[in-house]
Chains A and B, each alone.
Chain A
């Protein structure tokens, strides 16, 4: 019993560590890819690790009080928590203990924690940035939840783990015609979730000095960077779990530990690919204004999602 618990704790911590490692890699990866598209050399691909370690190694750390500190705590803890509830490469550590709704709401913990600290800093730029981030969230969530609800009703489950299981043997949702469209809609929403251009409105370094993060430095900024990096992993994994079978290609029963390894690699390749797509869009687009983003998501994306809903509605009977 005790050994099982320790085993579980170790597994979970390992998973969190893996998430952070991949996240930090993604940071460098993103900068490299963008630089290449812009025809620059760019930083080395391991720059993300350097940045985070440097920030955590800083000697002077400025805080604005205990509410300010909550941001660092809750953003890191929250995003790790959300990651644990996702099935990764078909492995569900905690994902059977909750479902897709839980994950959607768990994603709000780091966001609200972050917002709390940013607001507590008292810098108006931070407040404006948070306002934009929240509105953006409202904007992209509508098409996102519409597609997700359509999938839930179609597959008659709300559990992400079950959804991944149903997509095994390459019965990916992407190959179902209606959810192919769904994947495109969600991919657009993903662009907003990842806050890549044209939806990097909340951060907008040139307008509001990096928005919410303006007051953070040292270990606080380090924690927030960890959060942002990990968030990329979580959000792309969510997409992969929804539409690309979660990266499960080999069944564990048949192939044993090789299956784990292969699935992990496929999952990694898939999330990298999804992120890469986002980076491509990011590299060539300018930035929307927030109301443009809202109109984009609620008019075009949501309208497409509405058509999808009608399509699914026609096909489902209870």
Chain B
């Protein structure tokens, strides 16, 4: 059924394209097709040690397949790592489409077709067994994203996406070619890398290529533009699902193709190879700078974009440190990020769908109008801020433990402070959009959008109580790379340094909440409207001209301190690079003077040079 899945995606995308005029039917077709990877996921579950009831695996999927595509051969195989990331993508994708069914209105067929192709590419990437297959599917994914970005009609988004997309593709291609030159094979399984500077350069290029997709600084420039100018269901999938593929690739190449001893050839720092350490430092910087930039945004989508960049920085830290604990943490963080960021982007989409606004300072008080959207977003924000009543904490905790275990004195505080910074922008969303003065008289979001959001919240709750289940499915990945899995039971994770018992936290919280509830229910209360407050003893006469919502420039003192340093730093740098290229371009254009005599002289000069060259030679 594996090959048929790919055909189904191709045919499905053509069908939805043809159904452009009937968006609802197109959505149904797209969702039906999008369930196929989910079935594959269920069928392959034994691979990671999960035993699922047999009636769940409706269809049978091959675990390995090869298909001759003309000059090349497409080689596919499911691995535990692929399964893990497929879990993230395959669960998010149908829900995102469900959300889109009420959200996307114009040219819906094109939207669904591109989305299906994006998933097709991702599916292939996750199953790829050699570099050719990987690259083909990677690029299919990239350009279907481009098609979706084009729908945003934004210059910076398009230009930065395609420029960085080409950069990423070319870095990958260059790196693949170096590996091919050194090993003579394209197959991941057969590559035995010698520790030479050239291979290290190749691996570095590959990792840098993936870092573009994973939006690591300073290669993140495209992300805020793309995230803030595209349709939300797509952005939710891009940030939640597709950006993880960059980290999938990093893990695959750093621990599957290359190994820790390979990197350790060039020395280690506190048990971590310098290469990994550098990645961890970049990750920590990204986490911090992303957070600081997120705090300063007023556009909800940009805020979420920078938050996404910051949160993914943690994944890079984990991959960089590369101990079992750190890798587990990185994978866990990737999983959490998938779900909470998808929920947040979808919630932002739902808010936009009802109010038509993106600016935080123009929103407000939606918590009572859209309570279910608010609660979903609240939960996601708790996960984002890693409050221990969501699974977000377990991931960060693993990463902190890993960093402390290696004695990382400088990376760890940055990670922690970035975590604190997340509270700031998390509260900015909560207050600016959902709390405060009610300014929009709107209804709750449509059912399809709510269902999509709430199903995505589910994993955050489940893995809060049972983080061990995530560790169960990450353990086969570690074993594949010859590492010891992290010791755990379903609800206790134990490291060399400490333990974390989720049941204890949950039960204690329930207990204390119960206590607080008793205190609270002691006396009855009266609910008054929001205007009736401390200032409103003497309410202003012309109320509509005075905003009681203090959400514009919310963190102004913070911006006064940090604004100068962080705003547009990376973008300036890349603009200088572009300016350099354009300078060269002007030089090249000056060759074409437009004068026939010049061109004739070029020919004659060229002839003379050749003759002269030959005479001298």
Contacts and interface: CB of A to CB of B under 8 A. Distances in A.
B52 interface: no
Most buried by B among A69, A105, A215, A289: A105
In the A-B complex, list the 8 residue pairs whose CB atoms are closest, starting with the nearest. Answer: A119-B435, A99-B498, A97-B504, A97-B501, A61-B525, A159-B498, A122-B530, A77-B512
B367 A318 contact: no
Given A112-B423, A123-B548, A145-B417, 10 more contacts: A12-B508, A12-B511, A72-B520, A76-B512, A94-B508, A146-B413, A158-B400, A162-B498, A289-B557, A309-B413
Interface in A182-230: 209, 214-215, 218-219, 222-223, 226
Residue from B408, B434, B515 whose CB has the most chain A CB atoms within 10 Å: B515
A13 interface: yes
> How big is the B interface, by class?
35 or more
B409 interface: yes
A219 B525 contact: yes
B144 to A, nearest CB: 39
Nearest to B437: A122
Contacts of B378: 116
Contacts of A81: 505, 508-509, 512
Interface of A: 9, 12-13, 16, 56-65, 67, 69, 72-74, 76-78, 80-81, 84-85, 94, 96-102, 104-106, 108-109, 111-112, 115-116, 119-125, 127-128, 130-131, 134-135, 137-138, 141-142, 145-146, 149-150, 152-153, 156-159, 162, 209, 214-215, 218-219, 222-223, 226, 289-291, 294-295, 309, 312-313, 316, 318
A73 B517 contact: yes
A159 B497 contact: yes
22 contacts: A13-B515, A63-B525, A63-B526, A72-B520, A77-B515, A78-B509, A80-B512, A80-B516, A98-B388, A98-B498, A101-B416, A109-B387, A115-B430, A122-B548, A123-B533, A124-B548, A127-B436, A138-B421, A141-B416, A218-B525, A223-B519, A289-B557
A26 to B, nearest CB: 19
A106 B385 CA distance: 11
A141 B415 CA distance: 12
Nearest to B397: A101
A312 B409 contact: yes
A215 B537 CA distance: 12
Contacts of A13: 511, 515
Nearest to B291: A138
Given A105-B393, A138-B417, A295-B561, A62 B430 contact: no
A143 to B, nearest CB: 9
A141 B520 contact: no
B551 interface: yes
Contacts of B408: 153
Given A162-B498, A219-B525, A291-B557, A135 B519 contact: no
A156 B549 contact: no
Contacts of B499: 96-99, 159
Nearest to B559: A291
A62 to B, nearest CB: 6
Contacts of B367: 67, 120
Interface in B418-467: 419-421, 423-424, 426-427, 430-431, 434-438
B386 interface: yes
A318 B402 CA distance: 13
A142 B562 CA distance: 15
- The SS class assigned to the A binding surface is helix
Contacts of B419: 105
Interface string B98-127: 000000000000000000000000000000
A157 B497 CA distance: 5
A121 B525 contact: no
A156 B406 CA distance: 10
Interface string B517-548: 10110111111111101110000000000001
A212 B431 CA distance: 13
B79 interface: no
A291 B561 CA distance: 7
A61 B524 contact: yes
A106 B534 CA distance: 31
A80 to B, nearest CB: 4
Contact of A98 (B374, B437, B501): B501
B407 interface: yes
B500 A102 contact: yes
A112 B386 CA distance: 12
A119 B498 CA distance: 36
Contact of A153 (B393, B404, B527, B560): B404
Contacts of A56: 519, 522-523
Chain A CB within 10 Å, residue with most, of B382, B393, B516 = B516
Contact of A158 (B497, B516, B551): B497
A115 B528 CA distance: 19
Interface string B355-372: 000000000010110000
Contacts of A85: 505, 508
B550 interface: yes
A108 B533 CA distance: 27
